[in-house]
A and B are shown apart, each in its own frame.
Chain A
Amino acid sequence: MPDGATSNSKRVEPRDRVVIRFAGDSGDGMQVTGTQFTTESALAGNDLATLPDFPAEIRAPAGTLAGVSAFQLNFASDEVFTPGDDLDVLVAMNPAALKVNVGDLKPGGILIVDREGFNEQNLKKAEYDRNPLGDGSLDRYQLFQADVTKLTSAALKDLGLSARAVFRCRNFFCLGMTSWLYHRPIGPSESWLSDKFKKTPELVEANIRALRAGYNFAENSELFAVSYEIRPATIAPGKYRNITGNAATALGFVAAARKAGRPIFLGSYPITPASDILHELSGLKQFDVYTFQAEDEIAGIGAALGAAFGGAIAITTTSGPGMNLKAETMGLALAVELPLIITDIQRAGPSTGMPTTTEQADLLMAMYGRHGEAPVPILAAATPADCFAMAFEAVRIAVRYMTPVILLTDGYLANGAEPWLIPDPASLPDIPVQLRTDPNGFFPYLRDQVTLSRPWVVPGTPALEHRIGGLEKEYLTGNVSYAPMNHEQMIRVRARKIAGIVRDIPPTEVLGPETGDLLVLGWGSTFGAITQAVRELGAAGHRVAQAHLRYLNPLPPDLGSILRRYRTVLVPEMNLGQLVRLIRAEYLVDAVGFNKIQGRPFKVSEIVSRCLRLLNGTTLEESVTEEHP
């Protein structure tokens, strides 16, 4: 049985890191293939990061450019911060997948195609005039043409499956080939298949046969002369699992609610790319998780606020368009001063935009997108696994300060995955929750002297009956008040309360020299690309450091002094320059923006070259597009 060992007859070459992308039609099972290759790589001890890229259409017409679905994985024998810039390997199941993805393949890179997928019909759908496999246009790559469809059929011929069922096993043939090529163990995929199709044993058999056939084909055929070995990475010891940002967000909420000793209520309306948090939490009811699929975005946050009134850890999840709809209820939540977490999985806007692609353009909306003086704390996760920590932190701040909190992630974090060092639940801090029951000296808006938060009193508590609402409150009693000075006092105390959260913000971590020529300041999902870029620049002898913000409102108290320690500050963002505006306004620092708004994350190389130009004296704002017209 294949177990990752290779035959002696072929050459083995070492590699430090490999970026591979599986691409095919959206019905070809590329997400499954990529996910399984990821699991195999994690079990092989590599560090890794992944990124799926699927079309917005559920099933665009088969074989068309719009229907291409892909999954990218970067795995290495040292630290991995991003899913990788350019590809070392591209697996293309049909001409459309080739056309959409081949531009990202490095010259000399490995290109594996299913030869039979390049028939006249599919070539036409992919708008190829000639078959690229035969016209020399792919000469700069190592092209491997395998008869995947025919070989899969041959391996399954005595199982009596329909042609369609056989066709759908092709992805596991490809997984088998690539697993051999990079010495991945296929045992985990076999176990996964046995579990996944346990109700249909013939599909277990078929897919495992396809997987092994692909593996054996790669090993025994003349096609591949070389295989590659990627040694295990040096990673902090402990137990790991691979986790997506959305799964980590859900787990962070559950952990926080347990540590607070309160039930969770999630009010949410399905929206890409946030829905997976709803899916995840709806399966965790044993943790006192109440999930409510609302009739719309407004009801999602409204119901959550109602549950917060009742004493639950209240959460709503959405993406950009839903944020617009939730704005009014956020204002109410901050007026009635109840804890509530609003999670925005940012996607490319405006309007419906490009729903399955990523962007960071909701920061200023999170900051200012409510009428009136309506400050809300804003947190942002930096990596998929960091979503766990920031979801946990969002709950802690919401409860401690009796305030709505906005948690920003994005499509790249939500669907991307990385290994997560599984925490010991006992090591997570408790989140103290005090529901007030003492009527002595009670006023609904009596504030804690340190945090300025008001007491959390839930209906059902005897002798503390009171009314809350969106009308302005009298400072102490919470009764309706239109008194001019009271209004100013309330506006100021709410602002002071949120500003006071700085006392909870840990020192900002600066990676690289303490002073220098350039600080790259980022927030959110740009962390990986910035980290890798700053490392490369540091290794080349440049005095470049990195700081990454996870607290965006209030900003960390030490940020101003950090910014002044560097000659230049560069702020790469997947927007037209939102954090850079806040930084310039707040600190009067002449920070420089670097912007990419393509629905795709920054490449490491883009940040490196931008930094180099800055270090060489160019300080004009630039966008990636201007670099690559």
Chain B
Amino acid sequence: MSVPGASDQKPSKKDFVSDQDVRWCPGCGDYAILSQVQKVLPELGIARERFAFISGIGCSSRFPYYVNTYGFHSIHGRAPAIATGLKATRPELSVWIVTGDGDALSIGGNHLIHILRRNLDVNILLFNNKIYGLTKGQYSPTSEVGKVTKSTPIGSIDHPFDPIALALGAEASFVARSVDVETKHLQDIVRRAHHHKGTSFVEILQNCNVFNDGAFADVTEKTTKADATLVLEHGKPLIFGKNRDKGIRLRNFQPEVVALGEGISESDLLVHDERNPALAYLIARLGPPHFPTPIGVFTAVDRPCYEDGLNAQVIAARARQQPDLATLFNRGDTWVVR
């Protein structure tokens, strides 16, 4: 693929590191995510100046300052709106939105669902740490009921929602989940998000070691993660567990965890199909306490992109009619005064 504007030298990770000091808390999961993204970007065959990273407000939204591309750190929740205007008029750019559970799901919930519905070809990286970090520890829309935080000293009474299920409900064409410390898996998902044509929604489970440490310990701790994580692979049965001896089966339209062997074989299990939205809804509902947390690509389907439709209309209009100001000004009934 020819890349206009690309330099002759092959780009590397350091080309995507800006000169600004990274100022997340030591031990924050954001460092790992930044590093994986910076590793993937140079591989994509896109000139650095063609990337634009747009963010809202929150810890995650500092991300653009640290990536040496074009970047826009905007206002709380509005990154999808700003990205929409940019991508709609500049479809050749590779546009990335970096956001968090508060930014995307609370104050910016409206913009999130509408960008997913319109399916602009942008990539959304949602760092979900189930807490408000930058404001120093209030519960978020993904915090569990009963969560004790600074603003909920006797426990949260807010029912949370699941970002994956929300994205699927908003007609997202690509929905995936990864984990901050799963470096290889995260790189693969980021790469796939880039290659998907349409809005790619990636929830990244991210540890806030200051205000919500260990929120995803079950999926990150060596001792528990194999049993607590279900790695989705297209065309493969839903198998998990340290010994890969457990699976997900559907009985009476209800998913259940079954042990392989004892009369149950792989052929009895659900087989993942990224092209099947109904299955994606079902898998999105899996998770603790009764199920492992699915990670990987839930769904990846083809759907027209908003910016393509918009640009096609502009091009078609130009083909139909000359953009002539005099014609425009003289439209309708006119009269001459002498």
Contact = CB atoms under 8 A, between A and B. Distances in A.
B13 to A, nearest CB: 15
Nearest to A331: B75
Given A240-B336, A469-B74, A303 B317 contact: no
A295 B334 contact: no
Main secondary structure of the interface of A (DSSP, over half): mixed
A258 interface: yes
B84 A299 contact: yes
Contacts of A254: 325, 328
Interface in B305-338: 310, 313-314, 316-318, 320-323, 325-326, 328-338
Interface stretch (A284-292, A512-520, A615-623): A284-292
B111 A42 contact: no
Interface stretch (A15-23, A64-72, A304-312): A304-312
A14 to B, nearest CB: 20
A329 B75 contact: yes
B86 A309 contact: yes
A588 B51 CA distance: 52
Interface in A291-320: 292, 294-296, 298-300, 302-312, 314
Contact of A303 (B65, B81, B334, B337): B81
A39 interface: yes
A310 B86 contact: yes
Contacts of B161: none
Contacts of A469: 64-65, 71-74
Contacts of A239: 330, 334-337
A279 to B, nearest CB: 14
Contacts of B85: 265, 267, 292, 302-310, 312, 314
A606 B267 CA distance: 87
A258 B325 contact: yes
A287 B323 contact: yes
Given A254-B325, A470-B74, A292 B84 contact: yes
A126 interface: no
A480 B71 CA distance: 13
Nearest to B313: A285
Contact of A306 (B51, B81, B335): B81
Interface stretch (B88-96, B126-134, B206-214): B88-96
A230 B333 CA distance: 20
Contacts of A235: 337
Interface in B259-315: 310, 313-314
A241 B316 CA distance: 28
A192 B71 CA distance: 52
Interface in A230-245: 235-242
B153 interface: no
A468 B318 contact: no
Give the interface size class of chain A. 35 or more
A329 B338 CA distance: 48
Contact of A462 (B18, B47, B88, B111): B47
Contacts of B72: 306, 309, 336, 467-469
Interface stretch (A417-425, A544-552, A555-563): A417-425
Interface residues of B, number: 61
Given A336-B72, A465-B70, A237 B81 contact: no
B89 A459 contact: no
A264 B333 CA distance: 26
Contacts of A302: 74, 78, 81-82, 84-85, 111
Given A284-B328, A465-B49, A43 B335 contact: yes
Contacts of B73: 467-471
B68 to A, nearest CB: 6
B337 A425 contact: no
B5 interface: yes
A289 B87 CA distance: 15
Interface in B41-81: 47-52, 54, 57, 64-65, 68-75, 78, 80-81
Contacts of A298: 78, 81, 111
A467 B65 contact: yes
Contacts of A307: 85-86, 88-89
Nearest to B81: A302
Question: Which of A235, A258, A298, A300 has the most chain B CB atoms closer than 10 A to its own CB?
Answer: A298
Nearest to A428: B325
B207 to A, nearest CB: 25
Nearest to A243: B332
Given A255-B329, A285-B318, 18 more contacts: A43-B333, A263-B89, A265-B85, A267-B81, A285-B314, A288-B314, A299-B81, A310-B93, A312-B85, A328-B75, A332-B75, A458-B90, A459-B70, A460-B92, A462-B5, A465-B49, A467-B20, A467-B71
Interface of B: 5, 18, 20, 47-52, 54, 57, 64-65, 68-75, 78, 80-90, 92-93, 110-111, 114, 310, 313-314, 316-318, 320-323, 325-326, 328-338
18 contacts: A42-B333, A237-B336, A238-B336, A241-B332, A265-B88, A285-B317, A288-B323, A290-B88, A290-B89, A290-B314, A294-B84, A299-B114, A312-B89, A425-B326, A462-B47, A465-B49, A465-B68, A467-B18
